[in-house]
A and B are shown apart, each in its own frame.
Chain A
Amino acid sequence: MPDNAAATTTARIAWPPPLAEPASALRWLLGALAWAACWAAMLALDGHVDLANQALLLLLGGAVAALWLPASAALLLGLLSVAGFNWMFVPPRGNFSVDSAQNALLLGSLLSVNSVVALLMVRLRAQAGVARHHQQQAEQLRALGELLRDASAPLAHAGALQQALAALVGAPVALLLRREGRGPLSPDTVLALGATNADEAAGLWHALRQGQAMGPGTGHHDTMACWYLPLRGGAATAPGGASEQSQRAEGCVGAALLRLPAAGRDDAPQRAHAQALCDQLGQALQRVFAAQAERDALAQAQGQAVRNALLAAISHDYRTPLASMLGAASSLAEQGERLDAAQRQRLALGIVAEVQHLSRLTDNTLQLARLDAPGVALRLDWESAEEIIGTVLNRARRRAPERKLRARLEPGLPLLRCDALLLTQLLDNLIDNALNHTAPEVPVELLVRRDGQHIVLAVRDRGPGVPPAARERIFEVFQRGADLSHGGVPAASTVAAALPQAGITRPQRGAGVGLAVCRAIARAHGGELRFRARGHGGSSFECLLPLVDAPSGAPPAEEEAR
């Protein structure tokens, strides 16, 4: 909703509903004018019309004046006018005596009719005022309801309720609201609006905990000078069989403090209206809490499913290297003397290779778990792309000395703001992935360039590429779809399964968590990892890191080189 619309709605809700008609100068003036006009007419027509007609004019004047004047004034002015009428027009004129019984009767009925009409008019006005007041209250409720109906964050509109209540009682109002539907109540889990002293704060907490209204007319603490009203959200979440009191507490999502003026402390309709306003916010909050709880439950169920799948997949990926290690080691232990030196050496080297693989798998799994945790802290520093690439290249050449590896760096690259260990792990994984899934003669290339507001670190090959259907799935953890594996043999992982095995001589190893970790690392840096199919065949895995302005502090200037 646009801001100004919200402001308008808030203003409408906060409009103070008039509790009684204000007696304004204008009303007095209009009343006085009505009487003055009446008297002017009577004086002007004196002698042309008879006494009864003048008396009717006086009645008309009194009735019209009663439209505006307060009851007591209308009655008093009516009495004075009848007296004046008697003085001015009733023979004998110039004194209060009356010469005939007929005229006395006229004066008497004039006075009583005038009084009755005035009282009726005033009562009518009062009823119209009450009706208007009710209409305004209804309008206020409707406006608040409208504001809250579709609000995704009702807490943001608590201010509107606060204003509406303050206008209602004519004093500042304080609110205490739950931020979340569940969990223990503590100062961290509630939102407090408006200033309170210690007693008032305690009262609000009590009202919130108990879900109980307190103050004059509520049956609880009737002598207090304020109302504590609960914001009731309905007891939809209360379990069956719970006591009424615990249900009430369960459904209470907040409390409001209304400081009452000395008069009107036991104004039941006003309290009902205030309670209705409170309940509207309460219900809106409860609705949002319930939706949140539903989402949480769903996410938890999904998280559990993902975790189970992950554990199963991890166990599987660990078992393969463990099996060959156990085989080699037990063979060494039990058949050691019967094997020749070359065989023993082969077994031992096999164990070393498997351990290295397991160690990387463990690093990746650990890193994934760490990056998945909320509030992961990166050890960010200024790093040079050249150094990172140099380290990664050196390591890769040690692991696979027979492969062709090349690095190309655009000249003049700015420093990267990154966690060096994580970024090298990302590139290690990408290079391993490329080496594992291409034929030995296929070169693998590392490319670093600047692209607008990003630095792109790409690992590219001219291998078989990744089939379109698998291009997103390869980034998922241990994904192992039956549709992706071939020949019905369970593949070590999606990557192994997704990439055609043509021309591959070394044993196929799945990246397992490898690409998932890479993507998690890129995203933890505010970047992204994506796959791009290359124009003439092959894959390019591209890590985009946002460019951060390097610190301006240049190293101290040097004197002339010697």
Chain B
Amino acid sequence: MSLHVLLVEDDRALRQTLRDALAVEGFEVHSAASLADAQAQAQHAAPDIVLLDLGLPDGDGASLLATLRQRLATPVLIISARETDAGKIALLDAGADDYLVKPFSIGELLARMRVALRHRGTRLAPAITRWQQDALVVDLAAHRVTLADAPVHLTPTEFKLLARLVRSAGQVVTHRQLLTDVWGPDCTEHTHYLRLYMGQLRAKLELDAAAPQRLLTEPGVGYRLAEGSA
């Protein structure tokens, strides 16, 4: 059975293009041009993934996200123009899975959708406990990190930070989410903690800390752990 995609986008040309491109990839696409339309479709069609534009004619995509989050763990991908950074981050903090800045290529969209679908259901059960990329292996259950079979020594905070990123591997995690989950809800403004610890992690886990391949920065938004290879 093919996967259902709910595409919420008010620009007709872009909607049509995405619809065709996704259909070619084997998705069954339902599209909506307004928030009200999208609410109805979400109730009716039970989509497997939602692509959500922010600037809709009859409201903010945030309310749809709230509706979806009440019932389901449906992955939500934000597609937005660059100017709406603040709205984008707010939605990510409110539980959206990832974001794409317009204009984007179909290749990028499909890659992000794959990651989001893989994470489907992880809100209910801790699915990802092991992450591997080339020589680096993170085993959350065993509390162990190895680089080329040699154990890597991480401080408890470094490990917590890495574990949080592993649980959302391939997806962006906002500064606020990381600060809340690792340091607690009182520390959401202390971005400099993050900079410090990400620097330490990179020094231990990256080949070249100045050109990271694993712990990626999303400027102004958060961090993304590259997708694992296993």
Contact = CB atoms under 8 A, between A and B. Distances in A.
Partners in one complex: yes
Interface of A: 352, 355, 359, 363, 366, 379, 381-384, 386-391, 393-394, 397, 407, 409, 415, 419-421, 423-424, 550-551, 553, 555-556, 558-559, 561-562
B210 to A, nearest CB: 5
B210 A421 contact: no
A386 B202 contact: yes
Nearest to A421: B220
A421 B222 CA distance: 11
A419 B220 CA distance: 7
A382 B156 contact: no
Given A352-B105, A389-B210, A393-B211, A551 B192 contact: yes
B195 A384 contact: yes
B199 interface: yes
Given A379-B220, A420-B220, 5 more contacts: A386-B199, A387-B199, A390-B202, A551-B190, A561-B156
B153 interface: yes
Given A366-B83, A382-B192, A555 B216 contact: no
A163 B182 CA distance: 64
B219 A394 contact: no
Contacts of B209: 386, 390
Which of B83, B198, B210 has the most chain A CB atoms closer than 10 A to its own CB?
B210
A561 B183 contact: no
Nearest to B159: A562
B103 A355 contact: yes
A117 B103 CA distance: 105
Interface string B173-210: 00100000001000000111101111100100000011
B157 interface: yes
A561 B156 CA distance: 6
Contacts of B211: 390, 393-394, 397, 407
B157 A558 contact: yes
Contacts of B155: 558, 561
Nearest to A382: B192
Interface string B120-156: 0000000000000000000000000000000001111
A381 B192 CA distance: 8
A254 B135 CA distance: 79
A561 B193 contact: no
A389 B212 CA distance: 10
B133 to A, nearest CB: 15
Contact of B156 (A388, A423, A562): A562
Contacts of B17: none
Contacts of A551: 190, 192
B103 A359 contact: yes
Contacts of B114: none
A561 B191 contact: no
Which of A359, A393, A424, A555 has the most chain B CB atoms closer than 10 A to its own CB?
A555
A382 B195 contact: yes
Contacts of A363: 82
B140 to A, nearest CB: 15
Contacts of B93: none
A558 B156 contact: yes
Contacts of B37: none
A381 B179 CA distance: 14
Contacts of A387: 195, 198-199, 217, 219
Nearest to A446: B210
Contacts of A423: 219
Nearest to A556: B183
B216 A394 contact: yes
Nearest to B197: A555
Given A419-B220, A555-B183, A561-B156, A386 B210 contact: yes
Nearest to A393: B211
A424 B156 contact: no
B20 interface: no
Contacts of B154: 561
24 contacts: A355-B103, A363-B82, A381-B191, A382-B192, A383-B191, A384-B195, A384-B199, A386-B210, A387-B198, A387-B217, A388-B219, A389-B210, A390-B217, A391-B216, A393-B211, A407-B211, A419-B220, A421-B219, A421-B220, A423-B219, A551-B192, A555-B183, A561-B154, A562-B156
Which of A390, A407, A409, A550 has the most chain B CB atoms closer than 10 A to its own CB?
A390
A556 B193 CA distance: 9
Instruction: Please provide the 4 A-B residue pairs with the shortest distance between their CB atoms, ordered closest to farther.
Output: A420-B219, A382-B192, A384-B195, A421-B220
A70 B218 CA distance: 92
A359 B187 CA distance: 36
A393 B195 contact: no
Given A352-B105, A393-B211, A555-B193, A384 B198 contact: yes
Given A558-B155, A561-B153, A379 B210 contact: no
Nearest to A561: B155
A409 B212 CA distance: 14
Contacts of B195: 382-384, 387, 415
A388 B211 CA distance: 10
